[in-house]
Structure 1
Amino acid sequence: MRRVAGIVTFWPDLEQLMPRVAALACASERVVVFANSPVSQTDRARLLGTGAGDGGIEIVQSPDNVGLGRAYNHILQYAQARGADAVLLADQDSDIEPETVEVLAARMVELTAAGHRVAVVGALPVAPDGSPTRFKTTRLFERSVGSDLPNTQAVDFAISSGSLVSLAAYEAVGPFREDFFIDAIDIEWCFRAWHAGLSCWTAMDAPMPHRLGQGGLEIPLTRLKLAQQPPSRLYTYVRNQVRMLGLRHVPMRWKLKILPYIGLQAAAYALKGNKRRASLSAIGRGFRDGIRLALREPGNSVSPAADASGTAPLEKT
């Protein structure tokens, strides 16, 4: 299986980023670093040097922060043009070992051989070592799709970081939504894949330390724990989740659970969150704008990518 890896960055810690890029270079034919923030010439040279002797590294400098959707689409289309079969997506907060990538690739081959139309196989996100109480572990939403393969679970969606995306599936499902910018992009795409007759999986034996949010926030009187996010992320999360109410390919069971969840989220931030006023304002604005945009959704349309005409060209290294 020919693989390209892509990692999207935004003001990263270079000392943490370099070993992650090096690990991806060991497990892929090429690594594309899509920089949503400026990269100095010194940092560029250091990043390019991490691929010596392994997969080549290319840095794409975005003129602005264009979000994850456009970055993912650029990486996947780059891989398509070079005849790759799959793309391993990552972000700067996830630790992905070369062995993990090999497990994901082998599982995709096995699932395909078993007759499944595989869209994506994701790693199992876990809280970083030594901080299970600080960071919330990403929850898996399991689906009752049978597989005889051990340590393999069908899921509603695989989080984008640490996911191996089939390029054949990407062509069938369509691009990631650029207008979502950052949150719920992976959720919407995977629901679109299921609706098109493809499937999404998690390799339960491929753990990936992943930092979700800026720590944990417990919901009072429950055992539920939220990932604490800044107001800007709360806004896009709520806006995009509410926006998906207008999409027919998003299951009704998801729509019915998301509204009370947002209510619990607002209660948690009102009682215990940081920047309470700004956070509640962000949730409220996200809900308002999400409803407005949901009413405009064409329903069954995939509404893939926002029009990128007029944007500055991306600089490749």
Structure 2
Amino acid sequence: MTNKIFSIIVTFNPDLLQFADVLEFHLNTNVDSLVIVDNDSNNSLEIHDLIQKLTKKKSIIFVNLTKNEGIAYAQNEGIKKAFESNCTHIVLFDQDSKIPHDFVENLLEQENELNILGYKVGAIGPVYIDPRTKNFYPLIRIKGIFIKKVWPERESEKNIKASFIIASGSLIKTSTIKEVGLMDDSLFIDCVDIEWCFRAASKGYLLFASKSTEISHAIGDKRVRSLGREISIHSPLRRYYMIRNNLILSKIQWVPLGYRARIVFGLVLNVSIHLFDVSFKKEYVKFTFKGILDGILNKKGAYR
């Protein structure tokens, strides 16, 4: 069966010059179509005009949402377009993801190798490098109540098994999505990829990050060292979603015990570290406690 690949890029108020540059990278890859889903950006008309200029190079489907329902909802809209076209795989991307021309071929090749070895691959993505520090991000492997950080540069295996992978750059078969289900759009943003990976794992799928390809990916607004650890500093609103959604995940049956323990025991430490390092303490305290409360009460959707 011939592979048919759709790349799905979600946009929200992108810098048009930077996004045009990102699109040039994607247009040079071996995918059948790009699906651009815009989350009600202020410059959605300009995004549409930019896409119109580029459609001669490759098929581009533009989905213009009239309300920002969150990244998971937008990803699902793109996935549905892929379903309509009967494609075999989708690849999810953020609006700033620049990729090499052989990115998709590399992941398809590694997925095929893993399938031949008998692995049930749920998703396979690249390894990620922080553009600010030039360091690899670790992967997380959970066994029971224990959590292990796996550093790509120290691993001999080309395809590293992980408990979850970052959504941006992940290659997933559409048949897998149909079995596992779409992204949980009630989470709005943050932890969406983690929840989906745990749900896939509960159905026997495995997640991999392949050293065959890399993506430069910045997590958080900046990275700082605090109490001997390197952490990402996020905006108060993003911290709200991270705290709330992790607490929601702690109550889901297919989320591993080790991750639940990490949520509970890590909450106090992470809150303390961020309060020590951020300059916007008053606003941060407000969003932190709102996130804790809404997480306990299981309030979902957009912040309100």
Which TM-score band applies after superposition, normalised by the shorter structure? Answer: 0.7 to 0.9
Question: Cα offset for 1:29?
Answer: 0.6
AA aligned to 1:250 is: V
Q: Which runs of 4+ in 1 moved over 6 A?
A: none
Q: Superposition pairs for residues 218-229 of structure 1, below 5 Å?
A: 218-219=225-226, 221-222=227-228, 224-229=229-234
Structure 1 letter corresponding to 2:297: R
- Opposite residue 204 of structure 2, the aligned amino acid is G
The superposition leaves residues 206-229 of structure 1 with CA deviations (integer Å, 9 ceiling, x where unpaired) of 11001111111333x22x222111
Which residue of 2 is the match for residue 315 of structure 1?
none
Provide the secondary structure at the position in 2 that maps to 1:116.
coil
Q: Percent identity?
A: 25
* TM alignment of 1:283-302, pairs within 5 A: 283-293=288-298
Give the corresponding residue for 1:245: 250
Q: Is there any run of 5+ residues in structure 2 with no aligned partner, and where?
A: 144-155
Deviations 1:276-305 (A, max 9, x none): 1111221221111111118x9xxxxxxxxx
The 1:41/1:247 distance shift into structure 2, 3 A limit, reads: closer
Alignment correspondent of 2:153: none
- Report if the CA contact (8 A) 2:142-2:256 is conserved: no
Calculate the TM-score normalised by the size of structure 2.
0.88
**Partner residue in 2 for 1:132:** 133
Question: Which amino acid in structure 2 is aligned with residue 154 of structure 1?
Answer: K
What is the correspondence of 1:54-65 to structure 2 with a 5 Å cutoff?
Answer: 55-65=58-68
1:105-144 aligned within 5 A: 105-128=108-131, 131-132=132-133, 138-142=137-141
Aligned partner of residue 141 in structure 2, secondary structure: coil
Deviation at 1:156, TM superposition (A): 0.9
Task: State yes or no: 1:46 paired with 2:50.
Answer: yes
Indicate conservation of the 8 Å contact 1:14/1:43, yes or no.
yes
Tell me the CA shift for residue 150 of structure 1. 4.5
1:261 aligns with 2:266: yes
CA RMSD of aligned residues (A): 2.0
Match of residue 27 from structure 2: 25
Q: Structure 1 residues 31 and 281 mapped into 2: Cα distance closer, same or farther (>3 Å)?
A: same
Of 196, 201, 204, the residue aligned with 1:197 is 204
The code of the aligned residue for 2:253 comes to: R
1:103 aligns with 2:118: no
Pick one of 65, 78, 87 that aligns with 1:84.
87
Taking the aligned partners of 2:38 and 2:257, their CA distance within structure 1 comes to 36
Q: Which has the higher strand share?
A: 2
SS in 1 for 2:199: helix
Change over 3 Å in CA distance of 1:19–1:282 after alignment to 2: same
Return the alpha-carbon distance in structure 2 between the equivalents of residues 168 and 58 of structure 1. Answer: 21
State the Cα deviation string for residues 164-209 of structure 1 (Å, max 9, x = none): 1111110110111001001000000000000111111101221100
Contact in 1 for aligned 2:240/2:288 (Cα 8 Å): yes
Q: Secondary structure at the match of 1:141?
A: strand
Counterpart check, 1:282 vs 2:282? no
Contact 2:225–2:231 (Cα < 8 Å) also in 1: yes
> 1:22 Cα deviation (Å)?
2.5
Cα separation, 1, equivalents of 2:257 and 2:129: 28
